[in-house]
Amino acid sequence: EPEVTQTPSHQVTQMGQEVILRCVPISNHLYFYWYRQILGQKVEFLVSFYNNEISEKSEIFDDQFSVERPDGSNFTLKIRSTKLEDSAMYFCASSEGGTGAQYFGPGTRLLVL
Partner 1 sequence: GQQLNQSPQSMFIQEGEDVSMNCTSSSIFNTWLWYKQDPGEGPVLLIALYKAGELTSNGRLTAQFGITRKDSFLNISASIPSDVGIYFCAGPYAGNNRKLIWGLGTSLAVNP
Note the residues at the interface with partner 1 (CB under 8 A).
4, 6, 31, 33, 35, 42-45, 48, 50, 55-56, 58, 89, 91, 95, 98-107, 109
In whole angstroms, how close is the CB of 67 to partner 1 at the nearest point?
A: 14
- To the nearest 10°, the Cα dihedral for 84, 17, 55, 5? -90
Tell me how long the chain is.
Answer: 113
Select 24 or 43, whichever has its Cβ closest to partner 1.
Answer: 43
Select 29 or 80, whichever has its Cβ closest to partner 1.
Answer: 29
Q: Using CA atoms, how far apart are residues 18 and 14, in angstroms rounded to an integer? A: 9
Preceding amide of 25 cis, omega within 30: no
In whole angstroms, how close is the CB of 79 to partner 1 at the nearest point?
A: 19
The residues that bridge with 92 in the sheet, in sequence order, are: 34
In whole angstroms, how close is the CB of 16 to partner 1 at the nearest point?
A: 26
Select 20 or 43, whichever has its Cβ closest to partner 1.
Answer: 43
Give the SS3 label for residue 94. Answer: strand
Residue 29's contacts (CB-CB under 8 Å, 6 or more residues apart) are 94, 95, 96, 103
Select 72 or 100, whichever has its Cβ closest to partner 1.
Answer: 100
In whole angstroms, how close is the CB of 81 to partner 1 at the nearest point?
A: 25
